Structure 1
Amino acid sequence: MPTGIAIRDVREQLFAAADRILLRDGPSALTSRTVTAEAGCAKGVLHRHFADFDAFLAEFVLDRVDRMDAQAAALRGAAGTGDVVGNLTDALTALFGSVAVAIVSLVTFRDELRARLRRDWPAGVPVLTEAATMLADYLAAERDLGRLAADADVDALAPTLIGAGHLLYADRTGERPADDAVRRMVTAVLGGVVR
């Protein structure tokens, strides 16, 4: 790209390029050169907007966590409607159908990125801990509505759903799990707490 031409929404253009690379090629393929090439801009563009590549990656991960707010609001809004197992199945399918699994791999893959994220996110992997909070909030709302047992431990159920869901989706090169497999897992995790 010639110099002197303004690029609109540079951050989002670079973040979208990182999404595509992660989903297509995995975390080992993610470099400043591949991101800028995928975004169709000069490598210097990334370094004008971010201190270094790990700073870019940290902001990318946190941006993708922030984007989960809409999904969390939609899931909370579904409380009291439809089927609890179905709502959770849909939420987990959407979560793990996104770049979330690839972000987990990226955070695991890059030591410096983990160190930077720890400054703002002291525990857990950002995408997964945010997802667990989203599920716990939904489960609590369903419990308050009487659709889950009054003694349902939503703070234990939510991370269990995330962990089991992650295991189903962890192989990014394999076939995606069938909806029925996700539904069976959700049913098993919830056990007898659904009313």
Structure 2
Amino acid sequence: MPTGVAIRDVRRQLFDAAERVLLRDGPSALTSRAVTAEADCAKGVLHRHFADFDAFLAEFVLDRVDRMDAQAAALRDAAGTGTVIDNLSHALAALFESVAVAIVALITFRDELRARLREAWPAGVPVLTEAAIMIAAYLDAERDRGRIAADAAVDGLAAMLIGTTHLLYADRTGTRPTPDAVREVVTTVLAGVVREPHP
């Protein structure tokens, strides 16, 4: 894009470009030059809007975490419908087939980014922590409906579901897990606490 041409919603354009580079080429390829080239804008645009590249990346990660709100609301709304196993299997597959796995790799890859994120997110990896909160809220809603055992430790179950599913998806370049593999994880983790007939 020529210098001097206004860009509408520059943050969104740069964040979307960063996501494309991250998904296509991995965290080592995510540089300010790669982002601005992908966004088709002048190199200085990013630095006019963010203090430095790690500040940009921190805002990018938090923006992608905020986008999980709609997914969390949809999962909460699913409580009491379908089956617990199906609802969680679909939600976990959607989560880990998004940019979430790549963001975890990015945070692991960049020390300065982790330090910046600690300012806004004091514990855990933002995407995974938010996902665990989303799953725990859903399990809590199902427990209120009697579809999960009353004494189920929903926070621990949520963490187990996130961790185990993340292991299935951790190799960004490998073969994606099948829906049956994700369903098997959910079924195994929730064995003994689901109070609904299995389909």
Structure 1 length normalisation: TM-score? 0.99
Per-residue CA deviations over 1:12-49 (Å, capped at 9, x if unaligned) read 11000111111111100000000000010011000010
Distance (Å, rounded) in 1 between the aligned partners of 2:193 and 2:24:
38
Distance (Å, rounded) in 1 between the aligned partners of 2:8 and 2:81:
40
Give the match for residue 96 of structure 1: 96
Give the match for residue 31 of structure 2: 31
| SS of equivalent to 2:183 | helix
Per-residue CA deviations over 1:64-118 (Å, capped at 9, x if unaligned) read 0000000000000000000100000000001001000000000000000000000
The AA in structure 1 aligned to 2:15 is F
Give the match for residue 164 of structure 1: 164
**Deviation beyond 4 Å, 4+ runs, structure 1:** none
1:120 aligns with 2:116: no
Paired positions, count: 195
Give the match for residue 182 of structure 1: 182
Residues 12-161 of structure 1: matches in 2 within 5 Å? 12-161=12-161
The AA in structure 2 aligned to 1:155 is D
| SS of equivalent to 1:139 | helix
Per-residue CA deviations over 1:113-158 (Å, capped at 9, x if unaligned) read 0000001100000000000000000000000000001111101000
Deviation at 1:9, TM superposition (A): 1.0
Distance (Å, rounded) in 2 between the aligned partners of 1:122 and 1:3:
39
Give the match for residue 9 of structure 2: 9
The AA in structure 2 aligned to 1:4 is G
The AA in structure 2 aligned to 1:2 is P
| SS of equivalent to 1:8 | coil
Distance (Å, rounded) in 2 between the aligned partners of 1:74 and 1:33:
36
Unaligned 5+ runs, structure 1: none
Distance (Å, rounded) in 1 between the aligned partners of 2:26 and 2:5:
31
Distance (Å, rounded) in 2 between the aligned partners of 1:120 and 1:56:
14
Unaligned 5+ runs, structure 2: none
Deviation at 1:3, TM superposition (A): 1.4
Distance (Å, rounded) in 1 between the aligned partners of 2:175 and 2:13:
28
| SS of equivalent to 1:64 | helix
